[in-house]
Structure 1
Amino acid sequence: MHKARMRDVRLILSVCTMLSNFDRITSLIGNRNDILYSCGIHPLNIDVPPYDLLALRTRAARNDVVAIGETGLDYYHQQDNKKQQQNFFREHIRISKEYNKPLIVHTRSASNDTIDILRKEKADSGVLHSFTDDINTAKVALDIGFYISFSGIITFRNADILRDTARFIPMDRILIETDSPYLAPVPYRGKENQPAYLRDIAEYIATLKGVKLEKLAMVTTENFCQLFHLDTEMTIKHFNKTS
């Protein structure tokens, strides 16, 4: 946290991918006003106990949980349980709507099914996180009402298509993330990722979009607050005071 604050990262969203991890992290961290939580069962963890949806629903009701996920579909690493992944994804969407909390969606080699389920379940609030798909997928996600979030992958040498997509995304629908502890941006690639590196991603995308860093930081903060139902003005004032 100290390193993050030194690089102007003032608020962190801890995205849990297993319910057991969520319980450990919230117990370890406790109540802090600079860390928020998301709770979900990653598609690659749907067989890791506790994986029942009642347990997810109980945790989703917490006030410090601002989003549902990570959830979604991953056919790159696992294809033999597609139906089970899809069913869990649908249930996450329904829980997100029940509690009026946005989705954090993981999709890999499964964009068509991901979009199809989002549409059929009438999901209209969330983000496609650590986005790696093309402009066409981004367009459909934007049409549904979703945000697009870019991680350190966008700095990788072979990410030209992703950079084109980032240029296309409107400023009012773009988010940035580290996806720590994985996918550290250049020049830290290969090292353990950390929240402090968000500034490097912000600097890179600001250059890509042709805007000043301060502009991108303000817009992505506003987008974050809008998506996760935070008061933008109060959030910015609070963290400016504690800087």
Structure 2
Amino acid sequence: MLDLTDSHCHLNNADFGTDTDAVVQRAFDAGVKRLVTIGTRLENTAELVALAHKYPNVFATVGVHPEYVAEREVSADEIAQAATSDEKIIALGEAGFDYFYDPDTKEAQRKLFKNHLIAARKTGLPVIIHTRCAEHDTMDALAEFPDVTGVLHCFSSNAELAKFGLERGWYLSASGILTFKKAQDIRDIFKDVPLNRLLVETDAPYLAPVPYRGKRNEPSFVVKTAETLAELKGVSLEDLAKITTENFLTLFTKAY
């Protein structure tokens, strides 16, 4: 039986509003034994924590996605306080930069991400990073916090950022993008990532892997991403599942 972990999904998304129980059950039946439902606004914290307590092997995170940077200012203390408000909160994020949709808020995004990194230093929790079209700003920000660790989620950036993260002990997470026909450059990067630095995720309900592309993604589909990653790394699916789950538990020490 597989022992996989979906390290990044959004169970509170409206797409799961009517069948969350069935979605979680399908994941467990498929061998996906742990799920992390990800914070994108601090206002969602109570909802995420409730989901984590409803399902024994679901965990939550706290963070503000860069997409919402203009809504209000969020301090490092506020992030840290929210992150330590419940034992099932295991990380900060997702946080970081998104210059694809919001290039006019760069300075505000830098400030918000720095506040997440300060909160990570205060709490000792890892950070789940979202970065899009912002590789150099991501590296510059992380260089100021060498004691903070975490994962570059849904990794689809360049080899320079991958190398930077790996040299500093960060993890790279493979999503359904890995299965896309035109993602050979991403597959090439993951070929070179050490096994002990890999995680897998769905980012559900987004980015469903082949053969489900175009449909609502869900945590059970992480098996397809894991199959592709196992083939790239030359290991069995069972071994890939075991290794990535061990990596997950090493990084997210509260996920027990």
Aligned to 2:12: none
Q: Indicate how the Cα distance of structure 1 residues 22 and 36 shifts in structure 2: closer, same or farther if over 3 A, else same.
A: same
- Secondary structure at the aligned position of 1:10 is classed as strand
- Secondary structure at the aligned position of 1:30 is classed as helix
Aligned to 1:165: 189
For residues 49 and 180 of structure 1, the distance between their equivalents in structure 2, rounded to whole angstroms, comes to 26
Q: Which moved more, 1:25-34 or 1:8-17?
A: 25-34
Is 1:214 aligned to 2:238, yes or no? yes
Unaligned runs of 5+ in 2: 1-23
1:90 corresponds to which letter in structure 2?
K
Q: TM-score, structure 2 length as denominator?
A: 0.86
2:39 corresponds to which letter in structure 1?
C
Superposition CA RMSD, Å: 1.7
Question: CA contact under 8 A between 2:48 and 2:60: conserved in structure 1?
Answer: no
Question: CA contact under 8 A between 1:123 and 1:144: conserved in structure 2?
Answer: no
Q: Indicate how the Cα distance of structure 1 residues 221 and 134 shifts in structure 2: closer, same or farther if over 3 A, else same.
A: same
Q: Which has the higher contact order (CA 8 A, sep 6+)?
A: 2
For residues 123 and 104 of structure 1, the distance between their equivalents in structure 2, rounded to whole angstroms, comes to 15
Q: Indicate how the Cα distance of structure 1 residues 217 and 147 shifts in structure 2: closer, same or farther if over 3 A, else same.
A: same
Aligned to 1:23: 46
Offset at residue 136 of structure 1 (A): 2.0
Aligned to 2:102: 78
Q: Indicate how the Cα distance of structure 1 residues 15 and 160 shifts in structure 2: closer, same or farther if over 3 A, else same.
A: same
Offset at residue 64 of structure 1 (A): 1.3
Question: CA contact under 8 A between 2:67 and 2:102: conserved in structure 1?
Answer: yes
Offset at residue 57 of structure 1 (A): 2.3
Listed as ranges, the matches of 1:1-243 within 5 Å are 1-27=24-50, 30-48=53-71, 51-61=74-84, 62-230=86-254
Offset at residue 121 of structure 1 (A): 2.6
Aligned pairs, how many? 232
Unaligned runs of 5+ in 1: 236-243
Q: TM-score, structure 1 length as denominator?
A: 0.90
1:160-183 deviation line (CA, Å, top 9, x unaligned): 100001101000001110011100
For residues 70 and 195 of structure 1, the distance between their equivalents in structure 2, rounded to whole angstroms, comes to 17
1:73 corresponds to which letter in structure 2?
F
1:83 corresponds to which letter in structure 2?
E
- Secondary structure at the aligned position of 1:11 is classed as strand
